[in-house]
């Protein structure tokens, strides 16, 4: 067996297995199953590796050409596990591959000669895999759920497999530690799943301020020229095109504005089994509202490239039905762009209503058009709000997140894994 690497603390984990079974950090965010979780996993693994914790992100192989192991940077590898066909599979079918994914993880450990000190599962499917591996390997299990079935159901979104909440409950009962992005998410874990508050830690995600940073008025014009935009007012929606994210509401809000000088950028691609149908619905809606010249569908962009879109926009619109955190809102804020967002979940921790953006309680087009109009009609106030948003975003950095987790991992490595309740 390989020797443990020297660390700054004897109990600090030297190698971490980050489970991301259903989607790879190498996948394009904004399309298919790729979203904020991809960014979370990739950014966290990178920050941890730079903090001295080597990370392997274990994900299911979805294409025959994917290399078994991809080294992203020193201390950060992506491992493609063979479980099921090497092709995309609907998320609801992956529950049948929990056992094969756990088996594939053990085979990789044997073949590579690697030992892990700790498991960190992301999303409920990975939580199920982590639950199996925790008992097989006698390792501590950390879980970040990202979204929760019972919270989505409360928001009127019930598109998950029937047993998802059961699996989440089992994972909650067996976790050594659960990570919540906000106080509200911690409360949801306790309220909906009976999670032990002593096993929950609030650790917000971060943002890369070297990539997502503000520009002055000249820089905004340069960003628009780079994107071929000549419109006077620019609104941005960035995310997967699925009902949960509320792109249709952004389109209706644009119609409510009745501003011929406004352009709405929809940056993202179809997601889920009905993704293509949703895109067709959105395109038809644009035609029905007579907005063909005011709505531009933009395919998913590389993560770093999104900074250009944030900088080009006057306002970023985030009308999601539910968000555990809301990385799009944070990245927009870091670029000095005000955010008009639904008053749900983690968005309430990112947007300070009336100061860094606006939080919208309702789901009518006018509810969004009113704050959008207020910002578009007052450049000075919009700049003031954007400056406040950028300043507020500095509270979040991946290096801070990694440092906090490094200490929490160390505490877990120093004691025996907890038993399932």
Mean pLDDT, rounded, for 347-355: 96
Structural domain count of the chain: 2
Please report whether residue 211 resides in a domain: no
Whether 178 and 64 map to the same domain: the answer is yes
**Residue 307 confidence (pLDDT):** 97
Whether 377 and 408 map to the same domain: the answer is no
Whether 246 and 196 map to the same domain: the answer is no
Q: Is the pLDDT of residue 7 over 50?
A: no
Whether 409 and 319 map to the same domain: the answer is no
Please report whether residue 9 resides in a domain: no
- State both tokens at 272: 């889920």
Q: Is the pLDDT higher at 247 or at 421?
A: 247
Q: Which DSSP string corresponds to 53-85?
A: -EEEEEEE--STTS-SEEEEETTEEEEEE--S-
Mean pLDDT, rounded, for 141-160: 85
Whether 88 and 163 map to the same domain: the answer is yes
Q: Which domain holds residue 26?
A: 15-206+398-413
Percent of the chain with pLDDT over 90: 82
Q: Is the pLDDT of residue 333 over 80?
A: yes
**Residue 158 confidence (pLDDT):** 65
**Residue 32 confidence (pLDDT):** 58
Please report whether residue 274 resides in a domain: yes
Give the tens place of pLDDT for each residue, 112-126: 999 999 999 999 999
Contacts within 8 Å (CB) and 24+ apart, 24-29: 24/57, 24/59, 24/62, 24/78, 24/80, 25/57, 25/59, 25/72, 25/78, 26/70, 26/78, 28/269, 28/300, 28/302, 29/300, 29/303
Whether 101 and 146 map to the same domain: the answer is yes
Whether 135 and 223 map to the same domain: the answer is no
Please report whether residue 419 resides in a domain: no
Q: What is the mean pLDDT of the chain?
A: 92
Whether 57 and 195 map to the same domain: the answer is yes
CATH classification of the domain holding 137: 3.40.50.2000
**Residue 2 confidence (pLDDT):** 33
**Residue 31 confidence (pLDDT):** 59
Whether 43 and 178 map to the same domain: the answer is yes
Mean pLDDT, rounded, for 225-235: 97
**Residue 1 confidence (pLDDT):** 30
pTM over 0.75: yes
Whether 53 and 138 map to the same domain: the answer is yes
Please report whether residue 10 resides in a domain: no
Q: Which DSSP string corresponds to 240-296?
A: -BSGGG-HHHHHHHHHHHT-TTEEEEEE--B-STTHHHHHHHHHHHHHHTT-TTTEE
From 162-166, 204-208, 323-327, the region with the lowest mean pLDDT:
162-166
Q: Is the pLDDT higher at 396 or at 32?
A: 396
CB of 181 closer than 8 Å to CB of 324:
yes
Whether 262 and 323 map to the same domain: the answer is yes
**Residue 13 confidence (pLDDT):** 64
Give the tens place of pLDDT for each residue, 22-66: 888 988 765 556 578 899 999 999 999 999 999 999 999 999 999
Q: Is the pLDDT higher at 154 or at 64?
A: 64
Please report whether residue 1 resides in a domain: no
Whether 102 and 180 map to the same domain: the answer is yes
Please report whether residue 183 resides in a domain: yes
Q: Is the pLDDT of residue 296 over 60?
A: yes
Q: Is the pLDDT of residue 202 over 50?
A: yes
Please report whether residue 319 resides in a domain: yes
**Residue 11 confidence (pLDDT):** 56
């Amino acid at each position: 067996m390989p020797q443990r690497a020297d660390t700054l603390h004897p109990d600090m984990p030297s190698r971490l297995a980050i489970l991301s079974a259903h989607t790879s950090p190498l996948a394009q965010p904004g399309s298919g199953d790729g979203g904020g979780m991809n960014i979370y996993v990739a950014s966290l693994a990178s920050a941890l590796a730079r903090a001295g914790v080597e990370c392997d992100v274990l994900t299911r192989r979805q294409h025959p050409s994917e290399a078994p192991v991809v080294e992203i940077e020193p201390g950060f590898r992506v491992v493609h596990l063979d479980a099921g066909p090497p092709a995309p599979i609907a998320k609801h079918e992956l529950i049948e591959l929990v056992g094969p994914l756990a088996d594939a993880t053990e085979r990789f450990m044997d073949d590579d000669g690697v030992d892990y000190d700790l498991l960190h599962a992301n999303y409920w499917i990975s939580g199920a895999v982590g639950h199996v591996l925790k008992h097989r390997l006698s390792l501590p299990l950390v879980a970040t759920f990202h979204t929760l079935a019972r919270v989505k159901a409360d928001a009127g979104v019930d598109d998950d497999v029937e047993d998802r909440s059961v699996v989440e409950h089992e994972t909650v009962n067996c976790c050594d530690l659960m990570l919540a992005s906000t106080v509200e998410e911690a409360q949801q874990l306790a309220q909906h799943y009976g999670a032990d508050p002593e096993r929950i830690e609030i650790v917000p995600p971060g943002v890369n301020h070297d990539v997502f940073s503000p520009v002055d008025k000249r820089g905004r014009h340069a960003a628009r020229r780079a994107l071929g935009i000549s419109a006077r007012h620019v609104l941005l929606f960035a995310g997967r095109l699925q009902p949960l994210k509320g792109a249709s509401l952004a389109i209706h809000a644009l119609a409510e504005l009745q501003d011929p000088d406004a352009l709405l950028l929809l940056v993202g691609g179809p997601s889920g089994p009905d993704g293509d149908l949703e895109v067709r619905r959105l395109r038809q809606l644009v035609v029905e509202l007579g907005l063909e010249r005011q709505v531009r569908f933009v395919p998913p962009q590389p993560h770093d490239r999104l900074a250009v879109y944030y900088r080009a926009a006057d306002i970023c619109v985030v009308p999601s039905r539910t968000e555990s955190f809301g990385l799009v809102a944070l990245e927009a804020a870091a670029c000095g762009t005000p955010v008009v967002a639904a008053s749900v979940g983690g968005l309430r921790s990112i947007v300070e209503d009336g100061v860094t953006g606006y939080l919208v309680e309702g789901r009518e087009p006018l509810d969004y058009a009113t704050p959008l109009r207020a910002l578009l009609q007052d450049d000075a106030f919009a700049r003031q709000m954007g400056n406040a948003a950028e300043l507020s975003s500095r509270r979040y950095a991946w290096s801070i997140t990694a440092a906090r987790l490094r200490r929490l991992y160390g505490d877990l490595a120093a004691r025996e894994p907890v038993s399932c309740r």
